[in-house]
Structure 1
Amino acid sequence: MNGVIDVIVVGGGLAGLSAAYGLAKAGIEVLLLERGDYPGSKNVTGGRLYLEPIRSIFPELWEEAPFERCVKKERLSLLAKISSLTLEFDSEEIKGQSYTLLRSKFDKWLSEKVEAQGGLIIPQKKVTGLLKENGWVKGVVVEGEEELRSNIVIIADGVLSPLAQQAGLKEEISPHRVAVGVKEVIQLPQEEINKRFNLRDNEGVAHLFVGEVTEGVFGGGFLYTNLDTVSLGIVIGLEAFTDSKEVSEVPRLLENFKSRNEVYPLIEGGEVAEYSAHLIPEGAFGLTKKLFGNGVLLLGDAAGFALNHGITVRGMDFAIASGFFASEVVKEAKKRNDFSINTLSLYESFLRNSFVLKDMYNFKNSSEILWSVSRLYNYYPRLVLEFFKDIFFVPAENKEKLWKTFCRYSKKLFCDFQTYKDLWKLRGL
């Protein structure tokens, strides 16, 4: 390619594709470079997309988006070695607020929408560096050789984002700020999924697991129903591997999870259609120094836009929104013919006035809190399950009064000073 391109987007995930779609739709020349075989070929999510925060963004897309199922049932399970407790919330009121999806299908569809608007996507291109001149980002270096020049580079290359570090926008990420997720997509007939999960038509289940699934360390398990597949996996804090576990143990943890009585009957007879692994930002926004620079913007996971609140785990809505606001800022920069921080700083202003930075700042300590309260993943689930075991168990001798059982476990819980320390931390969630 010769000349200067208006915008180069690095990364074909939801953030990069959303930015490219908004730009192409506005008639701005945009080139998206993706190192995978096609956008979505290497992208991984649990996964579900919370649609409410972004429903007004690109509204023309959502009616035809290739969602799998509309989540109607929320489940949460506490796991011990041989026992569990599951809570289910089932409501028509939450139906439609979130949808399950498969990134390989969804991202490919969105890339086709970008191309239909006139955007250019080139796969199998790895960007290895930035072209920098006098404090400006002026383009990218592809595979260490080819130089492509542009007015603006949009960095959306994922959680590690070496380009963001080169641009001076982000510190090097540490294991404390990252979790590793592994996932299988298991094929089952649609009717069988409906039967096993007590669902109708396109209704879906989102199920989170905590406790023994990670053998007592930060993380958990997840299960999402798709149309004719089930997405099943675990997430575990990367720091756990430096403390007490080896990375090679992750497949074993996943197999143990799949074999549990709470899970196996739901996937029995299914065939594994896909296996994937992914690094997930956990509080990584704290490592982001700036979201913009002269000729450069930072989006999605690369900016640390992910939020683990324990009950809700979000990232895709942040990615799409950051891509949208990036495209809006670039349109303004193009109009002014000013690609400096004077105009690109509007990106942060837009984000501050949206749910993105409002939620990121409101819950900025969530991951740190969940990391620090280690008894959430071992002691507390075990205590709750022991309590329910004693409630339901009828011994050969006289059974203890329920009130006495309740008082005995309350004493265990609230006569422990560590409980109050943990509650003090958890108030920040």
Structure 2
Amino acid sequence: MRDRAGPAGAAVTVPEPAEYDFDVLVVGAGPAGSAAALEVARAGYTVALLERGPFAGSKNVYGGVVYGRVLDELIPDWSERMPVQRWVTRRQTMVLDGERSFTVDFRSQNWGREPYNGATTHRAEFDHWLAGRAEAEGATLVTSTVVTALLRTGAGRVVGVRTDRPDGDLTARVVIACDGVNSFLAKQAGLHTGLEAAHTTLGVKETLALPRATIEERFGVHGSDGVDIEILGGTGEIPGGAFVYTNRETVAVGLVLGLEGLSAAGRRPEDLLTELKEHPSVRPLVRGGEVVEYSAHLIPEGGYRSMPTLVGDGILVAGDAAAMCLAAGIWLEGVNFALGSGMYAGRAAAEAVRTGDSRRLAGYRTLLEDSFVLGDHRKLRDAPGLVLSDRMQRRYPGLICDLAEGMFTVDNPRPKPGLRRLLRRAIRRHRLRRRDLARDTLTALRTFG
């Protein structure tokens, strides 16, 4: 490292390095960063993984499931080594409206054995484990280090980063930015103008301690089996969603709230979370739980159309920094896309180092396009607009619950009304236009079909 003074928060112009400190620098030891560092080290090149926290995972919060198929490729024996809380064998999609709910409940014991579908895990434990795997392959993990700027040559090529350490500059042939939502490194490289509020949500979560036996009785599971519940509604009509999932001896409950809607409503997220926990369909699951953690995190939910440029001269962008979070209503996934994008960024960087040709970094985009990472995002590019729309958030939960209530209400001696009559009644009650309903149905079929 060499000490060069320069303004924090702006890219710093430096001469072309005569030699480099590392082949690759990865900024951020979340799932994307650790996957990238692991791949570079596995290829036999020198790589430093820079993390601002005291250990990998110390600053991360998490509200979902890690899915295994990308890990099959990255770490083939992951299921034997990963710090798993529970294997998800039961998956629910719940719609809330007032004091009502409609739930689709699916369970499969196939998910509770090899090859496993997904698992709940604590991010502090998971990230620490993943960074440790990168270290075991030869990566250098540097913690408690804040990256303050990119280093660029006069021609504009990224050749390293400046840190807050006294001897604070590190040089490398490639920098991989995995520095999270609203990546300032991507901005400094001219790849990102910043996320719009309309494309960003705030995730808030409470982790509630409950006895293991209580969790298993309430959620209808046993042993290492777990439950993941994704919720539409329950957000005080603010665009977003909610979730509940099980760990061994805790239950996580949280909300995902659109920033624009949250600001316009003037509501506090913790108050909305309290209301969610009091809903008749949620309260029996979480009552008596002791809050052991409260956390909040910005989430990039604009999808495919809000992604920054992913490849620059000497730099790649992955994970949340690349807005790779799939918020599609049925799915709310982020960690598997972070792992995939980091893995492919590491491979592209290693290829560029191997050949000495920085143009090979463009292969990163090709790898992403040929994989689930951009394949899923491209296919579901219309999902964020549909899921966070006013009708989906304010009208359709009531319509769905009206239909279910009408179908299951026994109103003898009157004859049963039939689905078409119930649908017409619900459309009128919720002031929906049939053409909007038809358009949204077609969009959903085109997106999810």
Same fold (TM over 0.5): yes
- The residue matched to 1:56 in structure 2 has which SS? helix
- Look up the match of 2:8: none
> Which secondary structure state, in structure 2, belongs to the residue aligned with residue 149 of structure 1?
strand
Q: Which amino acid aligns with 1:409?
A: L
Question: 1:306 aligned to 318, 322, 325, which one?
Answer: 325
Look up the equivalent residue of 1:58 and give its one-letter code.
Answer: I
Q: Which moved more, 1:84-93 or 1:166-175?
A: 84-93
Instruction: Deviation per CA, 1:300-321: give whole Å up to 9, x if none.
Output: 1111111112111111111111
- Report 1:20-419 matches (<5 A): 20-95=37-112, 96-133=116-153, 134-143=155-164, 146-211=168-233, 213-242=234-263, 244-246=264-266, 249-338=268-357, 340=358, 342-372=359-389, 374-393=390-409, 398-402=412-416, 404=417, 406-413=419-426, 416-417=433-434, 418-419=436-437
Cα distance, 1:61–1:82 mapped onto 2, change above 3 Å: closer
What is the rounded CA distance, in whole Å, between the counterparts of 1:315 and 1:380 in structure 2? Answer: 26
Runs of 5+ unmatched residues, structure 2 = 3-19
Q: Distance in 1 between matches of 2:403 and 2:372?
A: 40
Provide closer, same or farther for how the CA distance between residues 132 and 79 of structure 1 changes in structure 2, counting only shifts above 3 A.
Answer: same
1:362 to 1:284, Cα distance in 2 relative to 1, 3 A: closer
Supply the distance in 1 between the matched residues of 2:366 and 2:444 (Cα, whole angstroms). 30
Three-state SS of the structure 1 residue aligned to 2:223 is coil
Structure 1: gaps (5+ residues): none
What CA distance in whole angstroms lies between the structure 1 residues aligned with 2:292 and 2:128?
Answer: 18
- List structure 1 runs of 4+ shifted beyond 6 angstroms: none
CA distance 1:287–1:90, shift in 2 (3 Å):
closer
Match of 1:425 in 2: 443
Q: How far apart in 2 are the matches of 1:379 and 1:298?
A: 38
Matches of 1:290 and 1:21, distance apart in 2: 23
- Give the counterpart letter for 2:83 in structure 1: P
C-alpha deviation, 1:371, in angstroms: 2.3
1:425 offset after TM fit, Å?
3.3
Q: What per-residue deviation string (whole Å, max 9, x for no partner) do you get for residues 181-207 of structure 1? A: 001111122222111111121111111
Q: Which amino acid aligns with 2:404?
A: F
2:241 alignment partner AA:
G
How has the CA–CA distance of structure 1 residues 174 and 399 changed in structure 2, closer, same or farther, with 3 Å as cutoff? farther
Letter in 1 for 2:130: L
Report if aligned partners of 1:158, 1:302 keep a CA contact under 8 Å in 2: yes
CA distance in 2, matches of 1:336, 1:390: 66
Moved more, 295-304 or 106-115: 106-115
Paired with 1:118 and 1:222, the residues of 2 have a C-alpha distance of 38
State the one-letter code of the partner of 2:239. Answer: F
CA contact (8 A) 1:68 1:202 kept: yes
Query: Would you say the 8 A contact 1:414–1:420 is kept in 2?
Result: no
Q: Structure 1 vs Structure 2: percent identity of aligned residues?
A: 36
Distance 1:359 1:80 in 2: 30
Higher mean C-alpha deviation, range 110-119 or range 310-319: 110-119
What TM-score do the two structures reach when normalised by structure 2? 0.88
**1:65-89: CA deviations, max 9, x gaps?**
1121111111122212222222211
Compared with structure 1, are the counterparts of its residues 249 and 129 closer, same or farther at alpha carbon in structure 2 (3 Å cutoff)? same
Deviations 1:14-39 (A, max 9, x none): 00011112222333211111122221
**Residue deviations 1:50-103, cap 9 Å, x none?**
212442222133321112111111112221222222221122344421111111
Deviation of 1:299 (Å) = 0.6
Tell me: CA distance 1:399–1:139, structure 2 relative to 1, closer, same or farther (3 Å): farther
Question: Structure 1 residues 118 and 309 mapped into 2: Cα distance closer, same or farther (>3 Å)?
Answer: same
Q: Give me the TM-score of the superposition, normalised by structure 1.
A: 0.92
Alpha-carbon contact 1:130-1:141 (below 8 Å) kept: yes
- Aligned residue-pair number: 420
1:221–1:289 Cα change, 3 Å:
closer
The one-letter code of the counterpart of 1:110 is: L
